[in-house]
Amino acid sequence: MSEVYLIISIFVATFLVLGIVVILRVRKRNEQVKSEKPGYNADFKNDWYDGVSKQINGLKTALIAKDYKKFRLNLLLCLAQRVAGSSSECGQCMLFQQDITALVRDMGNLIQVDDRKERKAYFKSINKILGHLQKSHKLVTEGYYVGICMALGSGIGVALGSVMDSIGSGVPIGVGIGVAIGAALDAKAKRDGRVICTRETTASGSVPGAGHLLR
């Protein structure tokens, strides 16, 4: 039994070292590329987007912070930017522009009148746009890969733990490896400009790709 344990430990240690090496390399490349490449559509603007972002920013000053967060207006702004960036080559994104225009126009009503059905429809529309961007344009939300890899890792950890006769020590190892791999993939997605709403855009409402929070 102890032999098996030793082999698994070596195996796991190798994976951990590999994971750390991958993260360090991705980070290094990230630093190098950051200054040269603004990222896919990160700074995209058109007249439609300018109008929508002005309206949403206007709502930001008018609404209490709780409502702004509750109705996911930061996300809506990010979605609007992505949709605008793809609207010239994607018919669906072009249609979503009209949807977003209507959503923003009716926002005041939606917040004032407590209509559950309308609110449900609003969030459904947002999720539909988000789903399209994820599926058809291969975009991800921030921390997407960490979430997936952590879940996968904990599953593997349980299996590992049962081989080692101690599930309690298998799970943290699996989760640790999962987080390491997920963080590397998230960093890569960010470098490729595939993250829909980065923390920087969420925090300030502008300046995509500032990157200071990543370090």
Residues within the interface to Zn ion (CB under 5 A): 86, 90, 92-93
Q: Return the number of the residue (125 or 154) whose C-beta is nearest Zn ion.
A: 125
Q: Judge whether 133 and 82 are in contact, CB under 8 Å.
A: yes
Tell me the CA distances in angstroms from 205 to 14, 65, 76, 84, 193, one per residue in order: 41, 13, 11, 17, 17
Q: What is the DSSP letter of 215?
A: -
Q: Return the number of the residue (80 or 160) whose C-beta is nearest Zn ion.
A: 80
Q: Return the number of the residue (81 or 111) whose C-beta is nearest Zn ion.
A: 81
Least Å distance, CB 125 to Zn ion, is 15
Q: Return the number of the residue (132 or 190) whose C-beta is nearest Zn ion.
A: 132
Least Å distance, CB 93 to Zn ion, is 3
Which of these, 95, 96, 66, 62, lies nearest to 79 by C-alpha position?
96
Least Å distance, CB 120 to Zn ion, is 24
Least Å distance, CB 83 to Zn ion, is 7
Q: Judge whether 196 and 139 are in contact, CB under 8 Å.
A: yes
